């Protein structure tokens, strides 16, 4: 098995990597204050964001909604973000 490189991406998960990069961009400065963990699940055009919080405040909910909205804008209409 050969590892992917910039010249030959091979079997690298290009779509998944793109979604993760866009999720990072969407979440800059918006990670909820009580977040312990934040993850991304990619299943084709379906993207699910997972947050683990020590407590959930209204502000945390607003931050999560803002991340989802921003990500929807970055990924386009053909992708379902939850």
**pLDDT tens readout for residues 8-67:** 777 778 899 999 999 999 999 999 999 999 999 999 899 999 999 999 999 999 999 999
| Res. 4: pLDDT tops 90 | no
Classify 69 as helix, strand or coil: helix
pLDDT at 6 over 90: no
Task: Specify the pLDDT at position 46.
Answer: 93
Per-residue model confidence (pLDDT) at position 77: 87
Rounded CA separation 32/68 (Å): 12
Which pLDDT score is estimated for 13?
81
Per-residue model confidence (pLDDT) at position 1: 59
Q: Rounded to an integer, what distance in angstroms lies between the CA atom of residue 18 and that of residue 68?
A: 16
């Amino acid at each position: 098995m050969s590892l992917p490189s910039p010249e030959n991406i091979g079997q690298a998960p290009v779509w998944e990597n793109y979604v993760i990069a866009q999720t990072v961009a969407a979440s800059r400065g918006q990670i909820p204050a009580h977040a312990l963990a934040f993850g991304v699940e990619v299943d084709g055009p379906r993207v699910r964001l997972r947050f683990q919080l020590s407590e959930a405040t209204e502000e945390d909910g607003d931050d999560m909604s803002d991340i989802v909205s921003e990500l929807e804008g970055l990924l386009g209409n053909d992708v379902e973000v939850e």
